[in-house]
């Protein structure tokens, strides 16, 4: 789940909720500093661990809400001899979490932040602690790098970067694209579908936007921009060619083409392919069938989203520990 899902829940539901923010990490941790999750009446959104901390945090939320005061909780799982924590839960790190009741100034600013990220902009929520309470402020993330937003954190001062959901645009999808849409939504993307065939939009896709138009109009009608991910999957060579000629001008951060190398060669003949083009699309995991191919495609989009690198080799690691599962060694 993305930070958008948390902010959206707060916007639409005024019921009691507690925000948990991971502000410090020493050693291995399932999530990086800056990760947040929300505890609310119907359950939780997000996660801070593989499941070993959430139950304990949940028990603390009622008192945090009743008191109206934030609480800082520290978990030390560095000792391998401590079977209640330690490596038995697959974390093996030391982390610090701040629990905050979502009320008053914090709720008001998160509702304001919702309006900002809906417009496609990122925003930073800052805290500064005086006495036992925090004061809050919002600032545009446009001029602040993500690393700078998360630097020099302490219990007295920290920040959360709130970002809009990235959008995946599917052009001309058939039934075989449904696993891609479903998995993309679960991975934190929102999905838009564009097609020239009215019947194709009746497919049961997890899409928040649907338009019927010519391939030449789709990029303009969807206002495709630099934050968007685009997947061309109509299998209609001429229409795919028209669409890609127009979408390249909008410079999305990711363009993927489904199809064989021979077909892609014909599709791109004479075009100056941008560095954001992934063709054939997907990481080389040897996937077969719609579901496995969907995994390879969405994994590649996640790689682009997390690394911020448009020249990342397929399957390359950009974090030292990114290939380590919570249970131990590299896989």
Of 17-21, 103-107, 142-146, 255-259, where does mean pLDDT reach its minimum?
142-146
Q: Using DSSP bridges, classify how beta strands 229-232 and 254-257 pair: parallel, antiparallel or unpaired.
A: parallel
The pLDDT value given to residue 132: 78
CATH code linked to domain 167-307 = 3.40.50.720
- Per the model's pLDDT, the better-predicted residue between 213 and 33 turns out to be 213
Q: Is the pLDDT confidence value at 330 over 70?
A: no
Distances (CA, A) of 317 to 53, 273, 292, 304, 323: 27, 24, 21, 11, 7
**What does the pLDDT average to over 223-243?**
92
Q: Are 207 and 192 in contact (CB under 8 A)?
A: yes
What's the confidence (pLDDT) of residue 86?
A: 43
pLDDT for residue 131: 78
What is the tens place of the pLDDT at every residue in 42-88? 899 988 887 778 899 999 999 999 999 999 999 887 665 544 444 44
| More confident site: 280 or 168 | 168
Q: Given a cut of 80, is residue 38 above it in pLDDT? A: yes
The pLDDT value recorded for residue 327 is 34
State the pLDDT at residue 151: 55
Q: Residue 316: pLDDT above 70?
A: no
pLDDT for the residue numbered 92: 60
Lowest mean pLDDT among 40-49, 169-178, 198-207: 198-207
Q: How confident is the model at residue 254 (pLDDT cuts 50, 70, 90)?
A: very high
Q: Where are the alpha helices (DSSP H) in 119-163?
A: 146-149
Mean pLDDT of 281-294: 91
Q: What is the mean pLDDT of the chain?
A: 84
Query: Model pTM?
Result: 0.74
Q: Does the pLDDT value for residue 321 go beyond 60?
A: no
Listed by start position, the domains of the chain span 3-162, 167-307
Backbone φ and ψ for 270, nearest 5 degrees, come out as: 85, -5
Residue 15 dihedral angles phi and psi, to the nearest 5°: -65, 160
Exposed/middle/buried for residue 14 (C-beta within 10 Å: 0-12, 13-18, 19+)? exposed
pLDDT at 204: 73
pLDDT tens profile 184-201:
999 989 999 999 988 766
Whole-number Å distance between alpha carbons of 76 and 88: 13
For the chain, percent of residues with pLDDT exceeding 90: 52
The most confident of the ranges 1-15, 41-55, 132-146, 224-238 is 224-238
325 or 22, greater pLDDT: 22
Lowest mean pLDDT among 8-12, 56-60, 261-265, 308-312: 308-312
Contact of 316 with 266, CB cutoff 8 Å: no
144 or 20, which is more confident?
Answer: 20
Quote the CA–CA distance of 260 and 281 in Å, as a whole number.
10
Q: Who wins on pLDDT, 26 or 270? A: 270
């Amino acid at each position: 789940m993305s930070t958008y899902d948390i902010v959206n829940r707060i916007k639409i539901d005024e019921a009691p909720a507690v925000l948990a923010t991971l502000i410090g990490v020493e050693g291995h941790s399932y999530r990086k500093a800056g990760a947040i999750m929300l505890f609310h009446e119907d359950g939780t959104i997000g996660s801070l661990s593989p499941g070993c901390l959430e139950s304990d945090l949940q028990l603390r939320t009622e008192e945090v809400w009743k008191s109206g005061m934030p609480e800082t909780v520290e978990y030390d799982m560095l000792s391998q001899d401590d079977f209640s924590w330690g490596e038995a839960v697959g974390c093996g790190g030391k982390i610090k979490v701040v629990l905050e009741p979502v009320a008053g100034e914090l709720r008001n600013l998160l509702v304001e932040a919702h309006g900002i990220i809906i417009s496609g902009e990122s925003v930073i929520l800052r805290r500064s602690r005086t006495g036992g309470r925090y004061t809050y402020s919002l600032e545009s993330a446009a001029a602040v790098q993500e690393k700078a937003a998360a630097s020099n954190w302490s219990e007295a001062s920290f920040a959360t970067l709130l970002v809009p959901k990235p959008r995946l645009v599917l052009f001309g999808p058939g039934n075989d694209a449904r696993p891609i849409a479903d998995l993309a939504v679960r991975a934190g993307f929102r999905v838009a579908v564009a097609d020239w065939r009215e019947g194709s939009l009746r497919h049961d896709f997890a899409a928040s936007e649907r338009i019927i138009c010519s391939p030449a109009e789709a990029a303009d009608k969807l206002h495709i921009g630099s934050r968007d991910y685009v997947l061309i999957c109509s299998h209609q060579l001429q229409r795919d060619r028209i669409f890609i000629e127009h979408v390249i001008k909008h410079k999305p951060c990711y363009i993927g083409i489904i199809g064989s190398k021979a077909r892609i060669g014909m599709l791109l003949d004479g075009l100056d392919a941008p560095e954001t083009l992934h063709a054939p699309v997907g990481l080389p995991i040897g996937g077969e069938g719609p579901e496995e191919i969907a995994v390879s495609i969405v994994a590649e989009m996640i790689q682009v989203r997390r690394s911020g690198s448009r020249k990342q080799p397929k399957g390359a690691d950009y974090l030292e520990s990114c290939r380590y599962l919570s249970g131990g060694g590299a896989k």
